[in-house]
Chain A
Amino acid sequence: QKEVEQNSGPLSVPEGAIASLNCTYSDRGSQSFFWYRQYSGKSPELIMFIYSNGDKEDGRFTAQLNKASQYVSLLIRDSQPSDSATYLCAVRTSGGSYIPTFGRGTSLIVHP
């Protein structure tokens, strides 16, 4: 059973701080890793994806992947109240099913 684990939170950070969201996965064959943001009552929006070990930066977002330790994280710099949402981690393996496995999500609250 492939598992993707996330702390449900809520993670509360002050405006302007760095928010760090973590995700661990059980399948060592995992190849593609995705972060989605979901506002309450809305659908998930793809914000980052990463395939190789290391960091990938896009604006205020940085995805970090460590395959040896089987975790992927998302850093949000200069957090804004508009970043308050649930962040879903999704992981896809290289073979078999094409479908990513989703974590349950971490709720992030950025307070002014």
Chain B
Amino acid sequence: KAGVTQTPRYLIKTRGQQVTLSCSPISGHRSVSWYQQTPGQGLQFLFEYFSETQRNKGNFPGRFSGRQFSNSRSEMNVSTLELGDSALYLCASSLGLRDSSYEQYFGPGTRLTVT
């Protein structure tokens, strides 16, 4: 079974620009979660999508948004980039079922650098 894929792997953007990141989950997984990881803050939860609906949301400003398509692929968008948005953005895939254990499998991440 193929793992979680994320594109692009690396991005360099300028302050004020916007960026879109993509994630394809493991086949059969309907939940996609997005995390931001920085050395100072650790792994911070952004939001989770399940069956095309945002099911959970972390404490990030509205500049961070996402969506999920009918094939479970997900995109994350960050508008008006700030220097502090430089981070590793991770996507995690899970079955997402209520009674499941909820193991999450991470993709390789997208390294975003904002200059």
Contacts and interface: CB of A to CB of B under 8 A. Distances in A.
For the complex, would chain B's binding face be called helix, strand, loop or mixed by DSSP majority?
strand
B42 A105 contact: yes
Interface residues of B, number: 23
Contacts of A98: 31, 48, 50, 55-56, 94, 96, 98, 102
Interface of B: 31, 33, 42-43, 45, 48, 50, 55-56, 88, 90, 94, 96, 98, 101-109
A4 to B, nearest CB: 10
A44 interface: yes
A32 B43 contact: no
Interface in A94-112: 97-100, 102-105
Given A43-B107, A44-B106, A51 B43 contact: no
Contacts of B48: 98-99
A45 B88 CA distance: 15
B43 A88 contact: yes
A43 B42 contact: no
